[in-house]
Structure formats: C-alpha cells, structure tokens
Structure 1
Amino acid sequence: MTAWTGHSVLVVPVPELEPFVRGRWEHYEPSWVSSDPAFTHAHLTILAPFVTAPTADDLAEVAAIAAETTPIDYVLGEVREFPDGCLHVPPEPSAPFAALTQAIWSAFPHCPPYAGIYGVDPHVTLDQRSEAVTAASTGELLADALPARGRADRLELHWYEPGNCHVMADWKLGGGGVDGGSADVVGR
C-alpha cells in the first residue's frame, strides 16, 4: 500500500479496523502482510518514513515524547476521500494525533511526514478509489464497524519491507516505558 520499501514508520495501532484493513492488504499487497502477531495493519500514521536504522538515542527521544503524550480517546466515523483517491477515516478528535506528529517531527526534522509529499492529516487508510471502489461502497462494507470508538494508548515503530513487516519497538502513551523494558530494535 506504499511505494517505499525497507522503511520504518511510527504508528498508533487501530485494532478496531484491523480485520478490514488487513483484508485490503491481503488483496492488494500480500507480500506486505505481516506474520508478526503484534503488528497491526490498521493504524494512524504518526511519522513515515522514520529513521531507517534508529539509534538508542533516537528510541529514547521517541520514548520521552510518548511518555509526555496523554492517551487519546477517539471515534472513527465516516469514510472520506483525499484528492488522490485514498479512502480513509479520520479520527475525532484529530488534533492530538497531529500534535503527536508535530512533536516527533520537531525532534526529527530530517524526517518530514510522508517525505514532505503530503501534509499532516491524521487518518486510517482503508482503500484506494477505483471504478469498483468508492467512499460509499467502502462505507457500506464498514457499516457494522463504524462508528468505532477507540483509545490510542501506545506508539509503535513498524518496519515495512515485502516479506518482513514487523514491530520493532513500542511505547505506552503517558508513560510506563517501552513494553518489555527496552527499545531494542529487532530483526530486520
């Protein structure tokens, strides 16, 4: 679902839409479907692409920002479409997610969101418009799932590469440190 290969991404997982989003990945990009049980295909992108080979200092900086970020209660309501045909659902409220992106981008100014191609507009990517796929048809498919209420309580560092998508590290929002007690970058 992305043109970049071999890159890391900071995300907030959105388990409420995981079955639908994973299904879209299986349909469009099966080599990008993760076998890592901790990996969530449905997510709000916070910063992508991130540092390719994060250092311990990079991970500590992300941990500090995550610790300062209060967990966010949100609602996913209506399927919308960006001008490029990306079908998505924005979180309400969106401002706390944009603020988290800005905080991390400020700490890593060499990593602009979406490589500077797009602005900061928090959303969960669902599909891509085509003759057969529209915002209305996607909304119908998600009629039983939307609106969805969730709580963003963690930030994850994902690695994306065909055949090797996995969680590299994760942090609880509002403190509590990194799950597992360290931010070791695992298996790329």
Structure 2
Amino acid sequence: MSGHSVLQLPVPALEEWVRVRHAHYDGGFVSADPRFGHAHVTALGPFDPDPSAEVLATVSSIAAATVPVRTRLADVARFPNGIIHLVPDPDAALRDLTARLVAAFPAWPPYDGRFGDDVQPHLTLDAASGDVDLASTVALLGDVVPVVVLLDRLQLAWWESGACRVLHEWELGTAVP
C-alpha cells in the first residue's frame, strides 16, 4: 500500500496557500475532493488504513466529545527534520485530542513513534532545502498570518499521490452534555 490515512483537523483559512505549495512540489497530492484539508493540523497519523465500524464509532465519539478548538497561527518554526510549520497557540486542546486518540488506538502511535511522546501540534507549510528556509517561507506567507482559526471538524483523510481524499468526517462538539 503506497498511501496512508491521517486523522486531521482542516484549516480552511490556510487551505489555498498550502494547496499551492503541494502543487509546486507534486500535483498528485492536490486533491480533487473539495473537503480535503491540505492545510491541517494532524491529530493522529498514520492511522488505520481500513478502519472497522467499531473504530469509526470510537473516532466519532471522541470527535463528538471534543469542543471546537480556537487557536492562533502566527509563529513559523522548523523541526530538526527540516519541516517548516506554524505553531498553534494555545495548543493544549490539540495535545489533549491526540492523547485521547492515542489512548483509544495504541496500535497507531503518532508518526509511527519516530518523535517520541512529545508530539507537537503543527500545520506543515514547507520543507527546508537549498531554496527554502524559515525566512523564505515567512516571505511567501506575506500577510496570510497571523490568523485565528476555529478547528471544528475531524477528518479521516487518505494521503496518496493521485488519490488524496476524505474517507470520513465528523463535526467536533456534537455530544449532548
């Protein structure tokens, strides 16, 4: 299997910018699915590529119990692996969502466990290279940030060149108190 699934929170305010960056690198990762969140904060990925009805019901329950997350995206940072990203502030609710998903699905550790237990919520913008660094990314962003966003949907998205799409989607905070 060449693709993978991700539980992600789409960020419509940055969708066009991130979509253009995907097109710049590999048009195969530009989805024809209008719901697909190219711009997103990963909640848990990779995730079960063929989830059962029980798994989907558990994700649905977690999404329903999660209050929509308001966060500010302004600071651009770089991970040691070169991924240039926006840092959500505050990020406690995002960390909590990931922790609850990991507790429910321990067979699917975030990023296959490559980054340990401290999974930092972020929105990927670019990857450092000879032509791309923090300064060039900030310049490309222009006045796109800072932006305050309300993350109110959780998507199970499939990422594969030529086949990116939303498999399932849930509104956050639909549980009746």
TM-score range, shorter chain: over 0.9
AA aligned opposite 2:161: P
Equivalent residue, structure 1, for 2:100:
103
| One-letter code aligned to 2:10 | P
Counterpart position of 1:117: 114
Q: Deviations over 1:114-159 (max 9, x none)?
A: 0001241000000011122111111111121110111011111101
Tell me if structure 2 keeps the 8 A contact 1:78–1:139: no
Note if 1:164 corresponds to 2:168.
no
How far off its partner does 1:5 sit? Answer: 2.8
Partner SS, residue 46 of structure 2 = coil
Q: TM-score, normalised by structure 2?
A: 0.94
**How many residues are matched?**
174
Query: What stretches of structure 1 move > 3 A for 4+ residues in a row?
Result: none
Please say which of residues 132-141 and 43-52 is displaced more in the overlay: 132-141
Shift in Å, 1:59: 0.5
Structure 1 residue 11 corresponds to structure 2 residue 8: yes
Question: Who is 1:27 aligned against?
Answer: 24
3-state SS in 1 of match to 2:75: coil
The 5 A counterparts of 1:1-188 are 5-118=2-115, 119-175=118-174
Residue in 2 that maps onto 1:182:
none
Where do 5+ consecutive residues of structure 2 fail to align? none
Q: Which has the higher contact order (CA 8 A, sep 6+)?
A: 2
SS in 1 for 2:22: helix
- Paired residue secondary structure (2:170): strand
Q: Is the 8 A contact 1:79 1:136 kept in 2?
A: no
Structure 1 unaligned segments of length 5 or more: list them.
Answer: 178-188
| Aligned equivalents of 1:161, 1:53: Cα separation in 2 | 14
Q: CA deviation at 1:176?
A: 6.2
In structure 2, what is the Cα distance between the partners aligned to 1:36 and 1:59?
20
Structure 1 distance, partners of 2:51, 2:84, is 31
Task: State, as a whole percentage, how many aligned pairs show the same letter.
Answer: 47
Q: Indicate the SS of the match to 1:168.
A: strand
8 A contact 2:74–2:146 mirrored in 1 = yes
Whole-angstrom CA distance in 2 between matches of 1:51 and 1:127: 26
Code of the residue aligned with 2:78 in structure 1: it is: E
| Letter of the structure 1 residue corresponding to residue 112 of structure 2 | A
Relative to total residues, which structure has the larger strand share, 1 or 2? Answer: 2
Q: What is the root-mean-square deviation in Å for CA atoms of aligned residues? A: 1.4
Alpha-carbon distance between aligned partners in 2 of 1:126 and 1:43, rounded to the nearest angstrom: 10
| Cα distance in structure 2, aligned partners of 1:161 and 1:130 | 23
